[in-house]
Structure 1
Amino acid sequence: MIRNYLKIAWRNLWRNKTFSLLNILGLALGMACSLLIMLWLQDELQRDKFHKNGHRLYRVMENQLYDGEAVTFAYTPGILSQHITNDIPEIEMATQVQWEEMPLFTVGDNFEKEKGWYVNSDFLNMFTFDLEKGDAKTALKRPDGVVISKKLAAKYFPDQDPLGKIIRIDNKTDVMVTGVLKEISDRSSLKFDFLMSYERWLKTNNWANQWGNNGPWCYVMLNSNASIDKVQSKIKDYIKSKDNDSNVELFLQAHEDVYLYSNYKAGVQDGGRIDYVKMFALIAIFILVIACINFMNLATARSIKRAKEVGVRKVVGAVRYSLVGQFLGESLIIAFIGLLFAILIVFLSLPSFNLLTEKHLSLDFKDPLFLLTLFGLTIITGLVSGSYPALFMSSLRPVVVLKGALKFKPSATFFRKGLVIFQFGLSIMLIIGMIVIYRQIEYIQSKNLGFNRENLLYMPLEGNLSTNFMSFKQELMNMPGIKSVSCSEADPLQVASSTGGVRWSGKDTTKTILFSQNATSYDYLTTMGIKLKDGRDFSPAFSTDTTNYVINEEAAKKMGMKDPVGKEMTMWGRKGTIIGIVKNFHINSLHEGISPLILHFQRGKQNLGQVIVRTQAGQTKEAIASMDKAFKKFNPRFPFSYKFTDQEFAAQYKGENVVSKLANYFAFLAIFISCLGLFGLAMFTAEQRTKEIGVRKVLGASVVNITAMLSKDFLKLVLMSAVIAFPLAWYLMSNWLQKYAYRIEIQWWFFLIAGVLACLIALLTVSYQAIKAALMNPIKSLKTE
């Protein structure tokens, strides 16, 4: 019997080639999109899940209370890990992780900056980063030890065993290679090329030894039988027990959650990359549903062609469940064929998809879970798409169909129209989402940041430049292409340092306000292109400026000062005068609002982080050549490197750009799949109304009249789809925009464009069949009458 069913299914597919092709192509595209998104989702959801002790690993987080609201940080006191294991017995191990550093590695004549971290000796015992050479238990115990990646081992010691070899760091100190890492998993959110002793770093950074200063991350590993709730209660006021002036409350976040749940608002978890995971999971479902609706509509519409077959089968004794099984089996066969084509599409598109998403996704047919997922996707698609046609066909009455008088009941017609409305409603929602995402990204990239990011470069202030900056600056100013030079503790786009240690006359002593702070040198405002609202910039003509301050408008607002210039304020116990106020400018991501900012002058031998250079417009090439020449003169033992501020700004929103592109591609495919179904329905409708069209032509109807007649019913359905989709799309995209502190308003014309575009696409899809039917010779359609 099954063999007979397979023969019937194949004959029906072959007999109705066009409809079979539309069905298979629609399902294949829908399944391919869903499969691509599934691979991406699987990679996202499996991030950091490979650590053997993963369920016991947590990152210590801080909630600090400022101006009545909690602000969440991942930064902690630099000495937290060495105390917390002694004071809280449920914590088995802890490690501090300093933010990514890029010291200079030198081996013989080979030197280059490398990315890595300073960590405590237990880091490799807590996390599963296996060593190819060396002992993980002891590799980081030496203060002068370094663990390097296979890449660095091949670069610096290509034909030697790297263990025991010496690497010079920043032309100052030597370290010995104590281990070589195996390849780090692509699913790790922690990426590095070397690990060095945190204890060694701590000795040269005294500020990190104070409980009131935050910087490094802190990870802990709980005992296997520890209660997380109990540890949370113990750790909450831990900093307060060490520092009476602290307003910090600690809590633990599972390391496995850090990648996806990184955003916090008012001390409460508020999404992160999980928002994109949910968005694309929803898109995958939408596209698969659209493909299934195509199948339902086309199969139901074509049922009239197989009505007599059902009638005959029922007459000779076929029961309903056997007919349901037969038609579901046919839909499963089509779904399986669609899966084969979907796998081919995914295989061909994966290289481009990986390039866009910067992942290493692949089709792993050796993975039982992956095979089970493919099987499940095929079964679900086949059953969902074939369910209604199977139930509808099996319900036909033999006495009716064998008379040739089969007519669709109003309920069946309404259901089919409802499917079209639902299908195009989803497509219109995707179009609106595509428009909103594109406009938001465009808005971010074109927004005035309050400073001029064009023709602005920066490079690290390191080596001899730290002690010879003024001479280096003077050298640059005398060279071609250079307009202005300054230096800053932070880079132009990221002022990460903040403080609550600010006092001024009239301050409410019961409140602590968090201020961003940045140390700068002369000409900072000029070089950055920041507008001065009142007062002046730091100047060598005023010796007292080493203790003075420049603030932004938001800081003046927080201080309650209308005319702050000339008034005194104190930061970190250092009293000075506010000599200038600048207009607000963005110092961090546009996901965040503008923070109150205090600029203070470089004090003593304070090591600022970046040299900032403003180039002459149109002379970037000459300016870079000048920077290279001056750098090599003052700092010959370091490699010359620089960054363009506008390029780094674009890189900050790379994730949003990827989302925007993916949304565009998937919206286009959703529309295309919908059009396949609409094309098939238009073909069927035209075929069913052939004689009617012939009669109308004989009576004088024009091609335009007939085309309009056949098209208007479909356009009505698309317009109804738009009416339903508009409020839903507005609600979903309004929620998506809430994560941006600076965002666009959803305009009425977004919906107009989406509606008009959907109607035009539907009209173009339907009009081909309508015009084809209208151009037919009525003699052929009426010759049997």
Structure 2
Amino acid sequence: MLKNYLKIAWRNLWRNKAFSAINIIGLALGLACSLLILLWMQDERSMDSFHLHKDRLYAVYEREYAEGTTGATYATPGLLGEELKKVIPEVQYGLSYAFDAGIFRTGGKVLREEGMYAGNDLFHMFSFPLLQGSADKALSAPGNIAISNKMATALFGSPAAAMGKTVSYNNRQHFLVTAVFADVPNHSSLKFDYLLNWDTFLATRPHARLWSGQGPRTAIMLRKDAHPARVSARLLKFLDNYYRSQGPGLRKELGMQRFDEQYLHGNFENGQVSGGRIEYVRLFSIIAVFILLIACINFMNLTTARAAKRAREIGVRKVAGAMRLSLVQQFISEAMLLVLVATGIALLLVQSSLPLFNDITGKRMELPFSQPGFWLQLTLLGLLTGCMAGSYPAFFLSSFQPVKVLKGVLQSGKETARFRKGLVVFQFVLSILLVISVITVSRQVNYIQTKQLGYDRENLLYVPLEGHLSQQYAFFKQEALKQPGIKMVTQMGGAPTGVHSYQDSVSWEGRSPDYRPTFAIAAVGRDFIETVGAHLVKGRDFSPAFSTDTLNFLVNEAAAAKLGFKDPIGQALTLEDGHRGIIIGIVQGFHTSSLHDPIEPVIFKFDESSGGNALIRTSAGKTTQALAALQQLCRQLNPAFPFRYQFADDAYQRMYKSEQVISRLGYWFAALAIVISCMGLLGLALFSAEQRTKEVGIRKVLGASVTQLLVLLSREFLLLLLLAFAIAVPLGWYAMHKWLEGYAYHTGIAWWIFLLAGALSLLVALGTVSVQAVRAALVNPVRSLRAE
């Protein structure tokens, strides 16, 4: 029976080559898009899923109640990991960690690698296999270092040869290699090629020992018999015994989240985990469904539209005794055969487009042909597509009454025509929605890239103050200003988009004990304002003419508002470490974080000994010349370290990598959605022209022009597209309005976005329909009237 079904299906496909090709290509494009999105979604969801104890691993975050608002962050006190393990019995292992980067030397070889400071429990908690050494001793002493297989091979030739050897770190310290671990897999959110003992971190960063400080991250692993809900309840009041500033004006709590969930659910709202990259996963899952639906709708429309062509076949088979179920099976088989061919083409399309897709998304995905699970998913996707595409045509065609069919009085009825038109409207609503979304996302990305941040990113670059550069910063600045193409030089503990030090115990005269706002603290050097291109609203910058400026502060407008002074200039502030000085200037709105958040209140303190980065302003058009001069200068002053730099604009763009990926992918998928929709329209236009061949011939004989015939054949499709546009506009506005609410600063939803989306879809669709309409209108009327 199945053999007969397939044989009949193949004959029908071969007999109607044009319509079969349209259906196959449409389904292949839809399946290819769905497969690409499925691969991406699985890659995103697999992050951190390889850890053996993933169901017991938790990230700890800190929730803060202050000024009537609630916020949360993964930044925690540096002592928290060890203390949680000591105090809460259900916590088997506790870990504090912080990211790092360093230059390593041994035997004339030099490497710059990304790494972490971490506690000794790391290898007990996470599944990073050790090739050499033991988990108990890997990070047991401050002088120990664990390195990756890649790093061990590069420096010593092999993991075994690396054991017991010494490496120089940043030309300041020497560490003994006590373990070598397998290279960290791509699906790990923790990326590192070396690990240093946590006590080494605490020894050089006193603020990390303060319970009021924030910065490092904390992870814990519960015992097998522990109840996560009970541990979470104990964490709520854990800080009460350590953080002395708990009170009406400020309160801090701890919360915990499954470690393998923080990659996708890494945002907070009102102190609770809320959204993150998962929003993009959900968005693209919807896009995949949309595109597959559009392809299936094409199949339904073309199959039901051509019902009359197969009416006599159905009538004869019913008279011969065929049951309706067997007819349904026949038509479903035809749909499945189409889907099978389309799936093969889709796999070829995915394989050929994966390099470009990986380049856009920054992934290393490949089709997992060797995994049975992939073939199971592909089979289920094919079956779902075949059933979705073929079910309605199967039940529709099998419902024909043989008596009417054989008499040649088949009428599909208005209901069928309405349903078909409804499907066309629905698929173009989806297409126009995608175009509106893509244009809006693109505008927001452009808004982010061009928005004034309170400083000028153009011709501004960062040079890390490593090694001797940190110790000889004053001389470096003096010599750099003599080089061609360099206008200004200053210093900053981090970067304009990377202020990571916060204090909630800043005090000033008149501050209420119940009022405890949190300020970002940025360490900067002289000429900071002029170098970064910021603007002073009032007061002055740090100046060598005032010896007391080494104790003074600048504040941005947000910080000035928090302080509550009518005139902040000259008012005294005292930081958590006892640093006391007066405010000498107010800086205009200054963004130090993502545009998802409002401008943070920032206090700029003078400190040219904290390392960080040299911020260098170059003359327009002379950046290349300035870089060459800087490289030469750094080689002279800091020969042990390779010259490194990054442009401020590049550092800023990396903050919005996800939005840029979404924007680029959106263009491709929206374009494919329109192409697939238009392929369906092309098929319907081809069928419509075929059905009205004699009418067209008669009208031409009676004097109708090509233009009049073009309008006649296109008018119905135009009305359907206008209806789709009217439905898509309010839906698109609402969806994009909700998305933009996630940004504290965002572009507006301009009226022309909807007009452009509608016009673009309309022009492409009408262009597709018009090609076939013109062909039909230009046919010799004699041939049209002779057509059967």
State if a TM-score over 0.5 links the two structures. Answer: yes
Q: What is the deviation of 1:783?
A: 3.0
Number of the residue aligned with 1:116: 115
2:583 maps to 1:581: no
One-letter amino acid of the structure 2 residue matched with residue 718 of structure 1: L
Of 769-778 and 567-576, deviating more is 567-576
Residue 702 (structure 1) shift: 0.5
- Residue 292 of structure 2 aligns to a residue in which SS? helix
Unaligned runs of 5+ in 2: none
SS class of match (2:25): helix
Q: Which moved more, 1:104-113 or 1:518-527?
A: 104-113
1:259-658 matches, cutoff 5 A: 259-572=263-576, 573-602=578-607, 606-658=609-661
How many angstroms apart in 2 are the aligned matches of 1:626 and 1:209? 41
Q: Which shows bigger deviation, 313-322 or 501-510?
A: 501-510
C-alpha distance in 2 between matches for 1:784 and 1:637: 86
Look up the match of 1:697. 700
Distance change >3 Å, CA 204–CA 568, structure 1 → 2: closer
> How far has the Cα of 1:353 moved from its partner?
0.9
Identify the range of structure 1 (295-304 vs 242-251) with the bigger mean alpha-carbon deviation: 242-251
Partner Cα distance (2:787, 2:186) in 1: 68
> In the TM superposition, what whole-angstrom CA distance separates every residue of 1:204-252 from its partner, at most 9, and x where no partner exists?
3222222122221111000111111110111111112122214210010
Pairing 1:723–2:726 present = yes
| Counterpart mapping for 1:25-40 below 5 A | 25-40=25-40
Aligned-residue offset at 1:648? 1.5
Distance 2:219 2:640 in 1: 36
Q: Per-residue CA shift, 1:29-60, capped at 9, x if unaligned?
A: 00010001000001111111110000000011
Deviations 1:80-103 (CA, angstroms, capped at 9, x unpaired): 1222111100000011112x2112
Residue 743 of structure 1, aligned match among 746, 764, 785: 746
Aligned residue in 1 for 2:774: 771
Secondary structure of the 2:37 match is helix
SS class of match (2:92) = strand
Write the distance in 1 (CA, Å) between the matches of 2:787 and 2:439.
52
3-state SS of 1:503 partner: coil
1:170 and 1:762 mapped to 2: Cα distance?
62
Output the CA distance in 2 between the equivalents of 1:155 and 1:64: 45
Q: Which residue of 1 aligns with 2:133?
A: 134
- 1:629-665 CA-to-partner distances (Å, cap 9, x unmatched) read 2222222222211111112222222221111010000
Contact kept? 1:112, 1:639, Cα under 8 Å: no
Equivalent in the alignment of 2:97: 97
Corresponding residue for residue 72 of structure 1? 72
Question: Is the Cα–Cα contact under 8 Å of residues 290 and 673 in structure 1 kept in the other structure?
Answer: yes
Q: Identify the match of residue 688 of structure 2 among 685, 688, 706.
A: 685
CA distance in 1, matches of 2:564, 2:433: 46
Aligned to 2:48: 48
SS at match of 1:129: coil
Contact map agreement 2:297 2:389 (CA 8 A) in 1: yes
Find the aligned partners of 2:81 and 2:35 in 1 and give their Cα distance.
Answer: 43
Letter paired with 1:301? A
Moved more, 390-399 or 458-467: 458-467
CA distance in 2, matches of 1:729, 1:300: 30
Return the letter of the residue paired with 1:609.
Answer: G
State the Cα distance separating 1:784 from its structure 2 match.
6.5
Cα distance in 1 between the residues matched to 2:103 and 2:183: 22
2: distance between equivalents of 1:784 and 1:371?
48
> Secondary structure of 1:161's partner?
helix
Structure 1 counterpart of 2:32, one-letter code: A
- Opposite residue 144 of structure 1, the aligned amino acid is G
Give 3-state SS (helix, strand or coil) of 1:285's partner. helix
> How has the CA–CA distance of structure 1 residues 691 and 630 changed in structure 2, closer, same or farther, with 3 Å as cutoff?
same
Cα pair distance change 1:628/1:407, threshold 3 Å: same
- Partner SS state of residue 84, structure 1: helix
Q: Secondary structure at the match of 2:507?
A: strand
What secondary structure sits across from 1:75 in the alignment?
Answer: coil
Residue 319 of structure 1: CA displacement? 1.0
Distance 1:237 1:671 in 2: 55
Aligned partners of 2:152, 2:471: CA distance in 1, in Å?
32
- TM-score normalised by structure 1 residue count: 0.98
Residues 523 and 610 in structure 2, CA contact (< 8 A), matched pair in contact too: no
Cα displacement (A) at 1:132: 2.0
Identity of aligned residues (%): 47
CA distance in 2, matches of 1:708, 1:513: 67
CA distance in 1, matches of 2:195, 2:587: 41
3-state SS, counterpart of residue 114 of structure 1: strand
Distance in structure 2 (CA, Å) of the matches to 1:244 and 1:501? 11
- Give the counterpart letter for 2:172 in structure 1: K
Is it true that 1:754 corresponds to 2:754 in the alignment?
no
Q: Is the 8 A contact 1:65 1:512 kept in 2?
A: no
Q: TM-score, normalised by structure 2?
A: 0.97
**Partners of 1:697 and 1:616 in 2: CA distance:** 71
CA distance 1:784–1:423, change in 2 (3 Å): closer
User: Comparing 268-277 with 239-248, which one deviates more in the overlay?
Assistant: 239-248
With 562-571 and 688-697 compared, the bigger mean Cα shift is at 562-571
Q: Quote the offset at 1:183 in angstroms.
A: 2.7
Give me the whole-angstrom Cα distance separating, in 1, the residues matched to 2:372 and 2:226: 34
- Range moving further from structure 2, 687-696 or 728-737: 728-737
What SS class does the counterpart of residue 453 from structure 2 fall into?
Answer: coil
